[in-house]
Structure 1
Amino acid sequence: MGITSAIVLYAVIWWMTLLCVVPVRLRTQQDMGKVTPGTQSGAPEVHHLKGKVIITTGIATVLFAIAAGIILSGWISIADLDWFGRMDTPYPT
């Protein structure tokens, strides 16, 4: 795995983790009982975004370390993911 693919893998894991963490402890305007006229009642009132970014970074770092370890160790390779037998036939020249 090259440096570019490692950065892309970390970014994908980080954003997926953030999208899973954002709804946790989210307080909407409707939950707080203070809906501002002209806004949706489901709009966030208290979002705790700074803490969620820190939690996301920690979780994403652990998940990235696991994924990078599996990829770099060779425990799972592209040949293991060849479900349709495409690696068995030579490529046309």
Structure 2
Amino acid sequence: MIRLIKALSASVWSTLAAMAVISAGAIALVVSLFGLRVSGGLALYFVIWWVTLFAILPFGIRSQVESGEVVAGSEPGAPSAPSLQEKAIWTTLVSSVVLLIVVAVFPLAGL
């Protein structure tokens, strides 16, 4: 799984394509199984995706000081290799699972 995500994050276009396919699949599943409207699924997914992004961003970060390569004029605590494309795919995968769980719990909450 990790190798597949690294391969998909090799270019911007493959990252965007993977994110689009995973997102569309999750939203289509929510719409077909739980009767949520597409607009509601998109809105809920958007909110979950952004919250999940900020939860996933800190994972695996090494600062420039830790890696021993401080760029002159930059903050030494800044990440040396943030791997944003990989994190975008991980965020999309985790958000899709969270979306399915949240929508499955809706009937229990009376929504």
Query: Do both share a fold (TM > 0.5)?
Result: yes
After superposition, the CA RMSD in angstroms is 1.5
Instruction: Name the structure with the higher strand share.
Output: 1
Superposed CA deviations along residues 26-58 of structure 1, whole A, max 9, x for unmatched, are: 111111112112111111111122221111111
2:90 pairs with 1:52 = no
The structure whose RCO (Cα within 8 Å, separation 6+) is larger is 2
Calculate the TM-score normalised by the size of structure 2: 0.61
The gaps in structure 2 that reach 5 residues or longer are 1-35
Given the alignment, which residue of 26, 30, 40 partners 2:61?
Answer: 26
SS at match of 2:80: strand
Structure 2 match to 1:90? none
Alignment of 1:12-91 (within 5 A): 12-71=47-106, 74-77=107-110
SS at match of 1:25: coil
Q: Which amino acid aligns with 1:65?
A: L
Structure 1 match to 2:41? 6
Count of residues in Structure 1 that have an aligned counterpart in Structure 2: 76
Quick check: which has more Rg, 1 or 2? 1
Q: Which amino acid aligns with 1:11?
A: F
Separation of aligned partners in 2, 1:5 and 1:30: 44
The gaps in structure 1 that reach 5 residues or longer are 79-93
Residue 4 of structure 1, CA deviation: 2.0
Residue 5 of structure 1, CA deviation: 2.3
Q: Which amino acid aligns with 1:43?
A: A
Q: Percent identity?
A: 32
Q: Which amino acid aligns with 1:38?
A: G
